[in-house]
Amino acid sequence: MRRARFLLPIFALAAFCGCDVPVEQYPANQLHALVVATSRHVPTEVAAQDSAAVVEAWFGTPIRPRWPVDQMSGAAAKQLVDPDHLMRAAGRVYSDQQNRHFGLFNEHCVTCHGVAGGGDGPASLLQNPYPRDFRAGVFKWKSTHRSSKPTRHDLTTILQHGVPGTGMPSFASLSTEDLQALVDYVIYLSVRGEFERGLISQAVDTLGYEIERPDPEASLTTLLDPTGDSPAESSDAMQVARQLLDQICGEWVDATAEVIEVPAETPDDAESVRRGRELFHGQIANCVGCHGPGGNAEVATLDYDDWTKEFTTRLAITPSDREAVKPFRQAGALRPRQIHPRKLSDGVYRGGGDGDTLYRRIVGGIAGTPMPSQIIAQQATATGLSQAQVWDLVHYLHSLSGVHSLSEDQVEQ
């Protein structure tokens, strides 16, 4: 015992600095519980507590994550993620003699995205834009329609290429296996987070949670003890929970079918750039309204992304009202920050700048932001663009950033 005394100052110092206790539980989504409570005027403490317990029972912990195949009905959903990949991405950071890295999410992502992928990691507050909150199931950079989930390929591409102009790095140096493990873990966190959000909402809206639990048939606690007296398999709570999980997983499974088709590119010539310029500054596309003349971003705008609007404008709260926002910040929200339209003349496209990607960006918009999607028709109409017109816009955008061989002056001529 005496011999161990020399270690006392070390342990005291460790206690002072904050011990590296493994995070044993995912933090509960208090922010969404508060949003639901504010929007429905119903206390959500019990609903949030029971939802968190169900989510942990079904999805496991940061040390032992699990994919709840036993609760899913679709075969494709069961194979959506590889449980082995989840174990590689979760837990503490180490590597072996074969250079296989473990704890990949903790090694590469957790400082910004947080333990539960809530976009609220330690360094999040100092990033602009804030890191993505996976729990809403909304992703900006993807090849699919605005309301659809991204494909695995989309997530892999973002991991490989990074997002220029933001804190999101390029992980091009990682092996394919490591990247796929991270993609699986991101999907897992997103499904888990969206399921938790949905369960809190459903507990209040459908199951009748208020200040106390509803009757056992509708109580989420029956899901925690299926061997008990309660008829868990047929209970309302079980049906609601499984239906919700199937719906979320189904959206991920269907993502590949939701990819925006890109037609053959039209000729990239001066005439196309001129037409694109007119469309950019015209009434139908009206890109100039936000991005400014020539995409110079010199337009005064006041808008926020959907993650911020969720706890502010959609609850009739002014984002700049510090007192009104304070409870949400205490529940985990980051400080509301305006979103600004991109300057298009510098050639920096965060989600990729090749022709196909820009085509999809114009058609699908950017989910979670004010950038809208477009209605695409076979022929140009007064309210929608044709496929050829979208390509004209793409050619004009390329010309702005110098990708196109023609300068602005030549286009003017």
Partner 1 sequence: MNQTPPTETSADDLQTAGDAAPPSGGPAADSRWLHRLSLLSVLLVWPLIWVGGLVTTYDAGMAVPDWPGTYGYNLFLYPLSTWLYGPFDLFIEHGHRLLGAVVGLVAIGMVVAAVVERSRRWVRWLTVGILLAVISQGVLGGIRVLLGDRTFAMIHGCFGPLVFALCCIAAVVTSRTWWQRRRAVSATPKPLANWVVVVAVLPVLLSYLQLVLGAQLRHVQPATTPRTFTLIVAVHIVTACVLWLLTPILFVLVRRCGDLTLSRPAGWLILFVGTQILLGTGSWIVNYGWPSVLDFLPFGEGFLVRSKGFLDSIIVTAHVAVGSLILATSAVVLVQTLRQKYLVAHESN
Residue numbers at the binding site for partner 1 (CB under 8 A): 10, 13-14, 17-20, 23, 92-99, 101, 106-108, 110-112, 114-115, 120-128, 162-174, 334, 343, 346-348
How far lies 209's CA from each of 50, 192, 199, in Å? Answer: 10, 21, 11
Beta bridge partners of 45: none
Cβ proximity to partner 1: between 70 and 96 the closer is 96
Cβ proximity to partner 1: between 265 and 346 the closer is 346
Q: Minimum Å distance from CB 270 to partner 1?
A: 27
Q: Is the peptide bond before 216 cis (omega within 30 degrees of 0)?
A: no
Cβ proximity to partner 1: between 120 and 184 the closer is 120
User: What are the backbone angles phi and psi of residue 65, rounded to the nearest 5°?
Assistant: -70, 150
Q: Minimum Å distance from CB 404 to partner 1?
A: 18
Q: Minimum Å distance from CB 398 to partner 1?
A: 15
Cβ proximity to partner 1: between 11 and 269 the closer is 11
How far lies 303's CA from each of 166, 288, 308, 329, in Å? Answer: 19, 16, 10, 19
β pairing state of 385-386 and 376-377: parallel
Q: Minimum Å distance from CB 111 to partner 1?
A: 6
Beta bridge partners of 89: none
Q: Minimum Å distance from CB 260 to partner 1?
A: 25
Q: Minimum Å distance from CB 295 to partner 1?
A: 13
Cβ proximity to partner 1: between 94 and 377 the closer is 94
Q: What is the Rg, in whole angstroms, of the alpha carbon atoms belonging to the chain? A: 24
Cβ proximity to partner 1: between 119 and 137 the closer is 119
Q: Minimum Å distance from CB 6 to partner 1?
A: 9
Cβ proximity to partner 1: between 325 and 390 the closer is 325
CA distance 352 to 200: 36
Q: Minimum Å distance from CB 128 to partner 1?
A: 5
Neighbours of 307 (CB within 10 A): 24
Cβ proximity to partner 1: between 28 and 385 the closer is 28
DSSP secondary structure, 171-236, as one string: -TTS-HHHHHHHHHHHHHHHHHHHHHHHHHHHHHHTS--SSS---GGG-GGGGG-TTSSS-GGGSH
Cβ proximity to partner 1: between 23 and 270 the closer is 23
Neighbours of 401 (CB within 10 A): 16
Q: Is the dihedral of CA 194, 196, 199, 204 positive or negative?
A: negative
Q: Minimum Å distance from CB 262 to partner 1?
A: 24
β pairing state of 101-102 and 376-377: unpaired
Long-range contact list for 60-66, CB < 8 A, 24+ apart?
61/24, 61/25, 61/26, 62/22, 62/23, 62/24, 62/25, 62/26, 62/90, 62/91, 62/115, 63/22, 63/23, 63/24, 63/90, 63/91, 64/90, 65/90, 65/185, 65/188
Q: Minimum Å distance from CB 354 to partner 1?
A: 15
CA distance 51 to 291: 42
Cβ proximity to partner 1: between 177 and 261 the closer is 177
- CA-based max dimension of the chain: 89
